[in-house]
Amino acid sequence: MYVVDHANHRVQKFTPDGEFVAKFGSHGTDAGQLNHPSDVSVDPDGDVYVCDWGNNRVQIFAPDGKFLATLVGDAQQLGKWHQDVVNANLDNQRARRRANLSLEWSLQMPRGVTFDPAKDRIIIADTQRGRLQIYDKPKNYMEPQLNL
């Protein structure tokens, strides 16, 4: 069982009986560091997904707490509710007119993460943007071989 420790910027691991096993993460912005984590989920392979709320990302860790990767968001459009807010407010529309909308694609204070084992996908609640961002977990990939 994994528990996010929001105020201490870490994740703790316990046995089903509640015995402490390990912890990982520390306060910061580097890979493997956390800023007020808000949720945690584990997939059948044991990979751990942590909503790094204050750093606007989800970090992926191995079962032993080793940092693996970061998801920062890849949405190509606004969520329905977010778009409704923009459309309803003329000042909001003016503020959002810019050539590069890539900032809108990124996660903004993600609050929840879960793993759907039936479809091998990671589902992130991108609450400030009013949408879910869904990633497929790569399976059966091969490490690149270096031929000299």
Per-residue pLDDT, 102 = 62
The domains found in the chain, sorted by start residue, are 2-74+107-136 (2.120.10.30)
Distance between start and end Cα atoms, the chain = 45
Segments in the chain below pLDDT 70: 76-79, 81-82, 86, 90-103, 140-148
| H or E element in which residue 103 lies | helix 102-105
Q: What is the dihedral of CA 95, 36, 50, 46, to 10 degrees?
A: 180
pLDDT in tens, 123-147: 999 888 778 899 998 776 566 666 6
The CA distances from residue 68 to 2, 59, 77, 113, in Å, are 17, 8, 27, 16
| The two structure tokens encoding residue 123 | 């589902």
Determine the pLDDT at residue 94: 62
What does the pLDDT read at residue 138?
77
Residue with tokens 């270096």: 146
pLDDT reported for residue 143? 63
Total residue count of the chain as it appears in this document: 148
Main-chain dihedrals φ then ψ at residue 2, nearest 5 degrees = -110, 140
Kindly report, residue by residue over 43-53, the tens digit of the pLDDT.
999 999 999 99
The residue type of 80 is K
